[in-house]
Structure 1
Amino acid sequence: MVEESARVTKIESDTVWVQAIAKSACGSCQAQKGCGHSLLAKVGQKQIDLPVLKNGFDVQVNDQVIIGVPEQAILRSSMLMYGIPLLAMIITAMGFSLAGIEEKVSVLGAFVALILGFVWVNRYASRLSFSQWHPKLIRKQASELAHIPMCEVNE
């Protein structure tokens, strides 16, 4: 399960709306001042609002929670969204090339196959049940202050 930290923004009957912030690895890099990628990462960071099933947890607005998505859901959705259109494009380009068709027409046909692959995936995905692919509330994130023991030192 891929886990992510999020903050509860709204609570409905059995659904919790959480806000996760997309993170970049640029915060720990030493060359971030002179790197264009760091600037793009800062500009491109977005807050994402997601509906998540409550799973019986008692949460309040502004609680920090951990949400999770099964790895299989990520792999299958990636294959569905990217693999099928790219496979359609490659097979079309190879078929046109083996048939001896001119390169311009082959490239155009491959591009059309890519677009048709995306259209097919969009229609196919609308008929699928994604309930097992949705993010789930795993646990409430414990307060960091609760883990620090308080001791007095007597001299």
Structure 2
Amino acid sequence: MITEIGKVVALKGDRVWVQTIRTSACQSCAARNGCGQKVLAAASGGRANQILVANSVDARVGDEVTIGIDEQALLGASLLVYAVPLILMVVASILGHQWSGGHDGAAMLGAVLGLSAGFYAGRKFQRAGGKDYEPRLVRVNRVASENCL
């Protein structure tokens, strides 16, 4: 399970908004010059992210919590978002090129249609099994009311 620590900032019914701060391990990584994470961390400036998750551990506003997502769910979501559209784009481009007798315009149109179909299919698959791809609260690390003593 991939986890991240955050703070509950708001309640919304049976769900909570959890705020996390993007951190980067670039200072301790040997591959810092050849990695895109450093660029992403620099672009974000350490800004906070907020995510809405089901409140399965009875967290309250101000609690420090751990949120997590299963590695298999993350891998599946990555394949759905990246691989399916790209594979459909390549296949549709080849088919458009073949069916048109070698015209590049048909190949480009096929690529655009295949990519669009891939995004649409990915969205439909995600909605069908969306609960698997959502992060969830794993535990409350520190309760807000303990800090007031």
TM-score (norm 2): 0.71
Provide the rounded CA distance (Å) in 2 between the counterparts of 1:75 and 1:40. Answer: 20
Q: Percent identity?
A: 32
1:5 CA drift (Å): 0.9
SS across alignment from 2:128 = coil
Q: Which structure has the greater CA radius of gyration?
A: 1
Q: CA deviation at 1:73?
A: 1.6
Aligned to 1:120: 121
Superposition RMSD in Å: 3.1
Q: Give unpaired runs (5+ residues) of structure 2.
A: 144-149
Distance 1:63 1:72, change over 3 A: same
Q: Which has the higher helix share?
A: 2
The within-5 A match list for 1:54-73 is 54-57=55-58, 59-73=59-73
Gapped runs of 5+ residues in structure 1? 144-155
* Structure 1 residue 101, shift from structure 2 partner: 1.3
CA distance in 1, matches of 2:3, 2:40: 25
TM-score (norm. length: structure 1)? 0.69
Distance (whole Å) between structure 1 residues aligned to residue 39 and residue 84 of structure 2: 33
- Contact 2:63–2:142, Cα closer than 8 Å, also in 1: no
Cα 1:111–1:13 change in 2 (3 A) is: closer
Offset from partner CA, 1:55-108 (integer Å, 9 cap, x none) = 234x33222211111122212211112111111111123334555412343233
Deviation at 1:7? 0.9
SS where residue 141 of structure 1 aligns?
strand
Aligned length: 138
